[in-house]
Structure 1
Amino acid sequence: MTSPPPRRRARAARQAVLRLITPLVEALVTGAPDPPRPRTGRLNPRVPQVLGVLPFRNIDLVLLADLALAFLLFQTELGRLRELVAETRSSLDVQGLVLAALAFSLPLALRHRWPLAAWRSAVLLIPLGTMICRQLLDMPYTAAVAIMFTLVVYAVAVRCERRITVGAWIVSVLGAWMIHPDSMAVVTLMVTVTVLFGHNVRARRLALGRLAQEERRSEQALAGQAVLEERARIARELHDVVAHHMSVIAIQAEAVPLQAAGDAARLEEGLGQIRTLSLAAMNEMRRVLGVLREGDEHPDTAPQPGLGRLEELVGTARSAGLTVTLRLGGDLTGLPAAVSLSAYRIAQESLSNAMRHAPGSTVSITIVRSGAELRVQVTNTAGHRSPGLPGPAGHGLIGMRERVSMLGGSLWIGPVGTGFAVTAILPIMENA
């Protein structure tokens, strides 16, 4: 096997060095933490009205706890260092002791708002504090240093990306080795456990955030689906209303002048029927479109049409030149509103199709209730023109299928002899 060329080896070495240096550079210089998470009401209560003159409206209890703990560590460490100076009769002055106590406590006050700045200041100040206290302490790390640095490292692991956290871990371990090699194992264990715990907390929070985001997206999708379904329902209702009434009006407008044959009374009667049909169509359109109005103080509460208006529907079709026979069977009272409306619309759409494609034809409407089913059958003869309803793309046929499918029923549509037939089986359910 031949060894890789020198250029490739050099490129691989540079990439390895960059992969090692990048986390260190981000942790020490260029990295930035995530913004702080929003606090709950318990951890971020509002300022009492008595203290309303304060420049902030809420009290961050976590930040307040950090400041209080930093002050406590400062006081404790300063008192302990003074006692050691008295015991050892050291020549350290008060300024040095204050500086050492600040080095062991100050980064803690920064960790909530600026976790990386807090860790960087701890990396710089801890060696300075240990140098000042070297002649007083056998062990360079005190309890205050352990508490402060653990909390600061935890804040970095929770608020920063993994590369930055890895760089902070490497720098912390190397710093412990340079300050006191004998305690490096203990410091490494403490820092490693803290980093892993903080990283797991961060991963859990991110997962919960993604889950909440997905739930919001799912709710938005469901809301959008509901809007689309409502639009489809309104479009279906509009089609049924417009298609039927406009077909009747168009046929009447064509037939009335021929039937009147110059008779003004018959012409006036025919135009009156057209006007009545037009007003009925407009009233139904207003009712359907009423659901789209916003801020309507007086919404239209007129009931949806049902089988009770079949005679009116048949009368309208007869006035348009169709010969319609209607046969009802079984107990049709007390039907669910959705079933009654769907049966009415199927009959209405079938009559409209017969008017358009088989004018002058004979139409038979049979609606029979048998047990828990309602059977709707509409057949028409060929009429004056050859039958030929729109294909599957027709909106009327699509509307029929949607209505029947919504109720869990069955629908058959197709030519029968020289005519056409529509047969629907609608299950009768009390919650329909």
Structure 2
Amino acid sequence: MVRATPGLRTWHGPALALASVLPALLDQGSVDADRRAWVLISIWAAVSLVTAAAMILRPVVATIATFAAVGAVELTASATEVELSFLDLAPVVVCLFTTGALASRRAVLWTAGVIGAVTVAGVIVNRLTADPQWQGGTDVLAGVLSMAMALLAGSTLKAQRDQAEVSSQLYDLERQRRLLAEREASARERARIAREMHDLVAHSVTLLVVNAETMRARSAELPGWAATQADAMAAAGRRASEEMREMLSVLRAEDDPLPTSPVRQLDDVDTLVEEARAAGMRVAYDQRGPKAQLGLPASLCAYRAVQEGLSNARRHRPGSPVSVEVGWQDDVVEIEIRTGAAGGPDVVPAVTPDRTSAGPRPEGLGLVGLRERVAETGGTVEVAETAGAHVLRVCLPAQDARDRVRDASR
């Protein structure tokens, strides 16, 4: 059995055959310039070129045929008392090395046995046909054994190559095992997070919705504005529950499927602003410039930016006026949420639930997550404190960063 080896081509066989024949032809003139010697060396060269040319495709056949051709020529030379260059063994050496490097172990052993048998038979024929001074013996056996080193060298090379291939396969298997283990660990961690979020957050949100709906059921005992607030509270809670369930299903999914429910986008900011107004916030909303097509990740990011800005205004500066501006310019959309008009009235309680001391307010997890989300789309986030106003400014490219990288690679 012969296995294809990377880097070897069919034409390599004839090229190696020619390279192994040329040295003997060049050396023959200095060994024996007799016409009979040139006839024999020419026949040997022609036969060796044909037989050794197949050393890549059929190394065993090429080796045995080339060795038989060399043996026949050497027997003829001894019988006719013609001396040939010792370099006529070069094609045999090359073929032996190729057989050891490409053939299976059984094929190598079989080749060695055939060559040994041919050698013994050749020595016997030489003893019967040649003059005593042209007869070979132990010197021939020593030469054949020396050539066997090429077979051993090729077999050693093949063994090293096989070992390297096995090591590479073991490495790939170990890498796959580590990746699988990491995926399993990640899946377990995500399941744990999903379980904790469900137990801690989902229960509280559901309880909030139930309380709001109970309050709304007793609307006859409530003023009109309270009933409206209860409706808004229940709607917001139901929406939060839906988004929570969707997020938990994504956390528990093994293949990270896309959410099946509609994804919030920049076009939903109108609804977000109306809900904030219904909750009692003073929100001004304005859009400037012609709209451009915004990718889904960037559009969701824009919605979350407005949502985060309104949440922070409601949490940290309740009662302060809020302005939301969405500006389109070329292939960029800029979103600015300003809480508390600069130089205008700004109602800030002495102590808020999230801020009990003066000084710059540290960024919460909402802003940290927003920065990460914006960075994935190739945008930027700026947070500034001006006289009487807190400003959150988000700049997003109309085309998602991943789409730009994909387009650039085409």
Q: TM-score, normalising length from structure 1?
A: 0.46
TM-score by length of 2: 0.48
